[in-house]
Structure 1
């Protein structure tokens, strides 16, 4: 997979998160899932999710207000989680499509990832923009996440787990890599801050604040998330 990523052809569609009504999460509908369209959307603070049943039908472009984010230094790792980190093997970009397909499992409640989305993000991965974190136990894939990395932004799309704490371990590893250099402009976007994510340090930012933070993040250098790192965690808050 190339690093730095390969820039795809530009999208013909006009997308704009700044025109969204405050408090409304859905900004626009239509367009396509071509690599250039997806990248343009993330650079504007948008991400796609189908508007029909189980994510099928017309593509909706979303900009949650407020937005869930994990800034540099905000990650919380509870002592109980620290104790289990060593029970798992963690890797990056070794099974991208398998992770996305696990997130798209049709038996999952609230599923929205269609085969078209799987193909679209696989194409983005092949260009070097989309990445996965894999969590294994005894060689078996038991958890992971995937998302898009642009400059200092990592926009998380979905995660899954088949073993307790596996998705939490994936998030810790993602933040460890995305924030490894401590550049305060870097930002991990988790879309909506669930209770689970809040306990791990996710914050909720109004859309205007998120777009300001996004602009700073896009100025930061691209991170090679698959690069070898030291084993230590980045500075975190233990609670």
Structure 2
């Protein structure tokens, strides 16, 4: 595992430890964060810990034609219970993601420094959000990094049932309509697996990231 310096550099993902850790240290500058995502690496650490950079052997992704929408969720979509917007309340979304309490998690991995860094990326048009509203209140959403052909999902939140799921569905449909390849969900979790996400080998993910392999979706 590599110890980063002030140099803007990341080692190859092939050097990652079996835990997925590629490197420690460095900073959360917009330049380093962009280099990380374009290199197949993402930061993941809790407040008070050293910055840790990951590229797991198995990458959780959603192939856009594999999205699973249950009958109950389709019913919610058809009833137009929620209003969905894009990039209208990024800072509110990431703040909710930071503050929401999650089962089995003592603290937050979205530190204040990280929040500020991603807000800057949003101002640059790199970080984007999806917002879900009900009665003019923000009740759910998600945010991530837009690489132009891959959307790297970072976090989502719900203040009411199904709100984050609705955000994810709208994001997937938007990305497919705009010829994106995949959504990078980073690491396995049951919630995203139920929506159709799956783990693929890191090498396959890197081929898609580096545009050496193109996913073709038939209409």
Q: TM-score range by the shorter chain?
A: 0.7 to 0.9
Q: Which residue of 1 aligns with 2:19?
A: 24
Q: Which residue of 1 aligns with 2:3?
A: none
1:179 to 176, 180, 184: 176
Structure 2: distance between partners of 1:68 and 1:118: 23
The TM-score normalised by the length of structure 1 is 0.80
Q: Is the contact between residue 17 and residue 45 of structure 1 (CA under 8 Å) also seen in structure 2?
A: no
Q: Which residue of 1 aligns with 2:207?
A: 212
Q: Which residue of 2 aligns with 1:3?
A: none
Offset of 1:67 from its aligned partner?
A: 0.8
Instruction: Classify the secondary structure of the residue corresponding to 2:66.
Output: coil
Post-superposition Cα deviations, 1:204-224, rounded to whole Å, max 9, x if no partner, equal 01111111121128999xxxx
Instruction: Classify the secondary structure of the residue corresponding to 1:87.
Output: coil
Structure 2: distance between partners of 1:108 and 1:197: 15
Gaps of 5+ in 1: 1-10, 221-233
Instruction: Classify the secondary structure of the residue corresponding to 1:19.
Output: helix
Corresponding residue pairs, total: 208
1:91 to 85, 88, 96: 85
Instruction: Classify the secondary structure of the residue corresponding to 1:216.
Output: coil
Post-superposition Cα deviations, 1:4-33, rounded to whole Å, max 9, x if no partner, equal xxxxxxx83211343334642111111111
Q: Which residue of 2 aligns with 1:125?
A: 122
**Runs (4+) off by over 6 Å:** 217-220
Structure 2: distance between partners of 1:13 and 1:159: 29
Offset of 1:106 from its aligned partner?
A: 6.3
Q: Which residue of 2 aligns with 1:202?
A: 197
State yes or no: 1:145 paired with 2:142.
Answer: yes
Q: Which residues of 2 match residues 42-61 of structure 1 at below 5 A?
A: 42-50=37-45, 54-61=46-53
The TM-score normalised by the length of structure 2 is 0.87
Q: Over aligned residue pairs, what C-alpha RMSD do you find?
A: 2.4
Gaps of 5+ in 2: 1-5
Q: Which residue of 2 aligns with 1:62?
A: 54
Q: Which residue of 1 aligns with 2:112?
A: 115
Structure 2: distance between partners of 1:92 and 1:148: 13
Offset of 1:72 from its aligned partner?
A: 2.7
Instruction: Classify the secondary structure of the residue corresponding to 1:73.
Output: helix
Post-superposition Cα deviations, 1:120-154, rounded to whole Å, max 9, x if no partner, equal 00000000000011011111111100000012010
Structure 1: distance between partners of 2:167 and 2:212: 22
Instruction: Classify the secondary structure of the residue corresponding to 2:19.
Output: coil
* Distance of aligned partners of 1:119 and 1:178 in 2 relative to their CA distance in 1, 3 Å threshold: same
